[in-house]
Amino acid sequence: MKNINLLILALFGMFVFQACEGPEGPQGIPGEPGVNIVGSTYEVEVNFTSANNYAEVFDFTEPLVDGDALLVYMLEENPAFPETFAWRLVPQTFYLEQGILVYNFDYTVDDFSIFLDNSPIDFTTLDPYYTTDLLFRAVVVPSDLIQARVDYTDYDATMKLLNISEDDFVRIEPKK
């Protein structure tokens, strides 16, 4: 009997708390005008050659804020579904007959580079598929959002979090 009374009391308590609806709270303080937390976005095409030492460097159109992060994605064919492409977070590693090939990047507040990472592979022996007309996207993640819980390897989730559309990418050319 004691257990039934406790159960009834618990159910009554849950009902009372669910029925407590009050008026909506006051409007929060409006944000600063002109403040935009979306970082810059870039699209680049890279040709890795011995002439450019298998690397390209790109200037940001505006310097990064210290603490911002850069994500670089590579457009790559899906090995399970040929002729189906997806954006993959760099670094990307490929295991080839010649050895291990790694695409990597680095950045400063002023520029970023995309390169074939040091490896025992003789890059001159690579099929043009791995070196010519490769498309990359670079996304600046503002320092305010670095701690956001998102799987940055998931391109679509990252674009949604940062409110980035296909039209937001700015095409830039390598430094000369």
Mean pLDDT of 145-163: 80
pTM: 0.74
Q: Domain range holding 103? A: 41-171
pLDDT at 48 over 90: yes
pLDDT at 158: 86
Residue 14 lies in a domain: no
Tally of domains within the chain: 1
Residue 127 lies in a domain: yes
**pLDDT tens digits, one per residue of 100-123:** 999 999 999 999 999 999 888 999
Residue with tokens 């592979």: 121
Confidence of residue 146 (pLDDT cuts 50, 70, 90): low
Residue 3 lies in a domain: no
Nearest CA to 139 out of 176, 101, 166 is that of 166
Q: Tokens standing for 57?
A: 């460097």
In the beta sheet, which residues pair with residue 87? 75
Residue 26 lies in a domain: no
pLDDT at 89: 96
Confidence of residue 163 (pLDDT cuts 50, 70, 90): confident
pLDDT at 92: 95
Residue 91 lies in a domain: yes
Residue 162 is part of a domain; what is its CATH number?
2.60.40
Residue 25 lies in a domain: no
Distance CA 109, CA 66 (A): 7
Residue type, 33: P
Residue 35 lies in a domain: no
Residue 28 lies in a domain: no
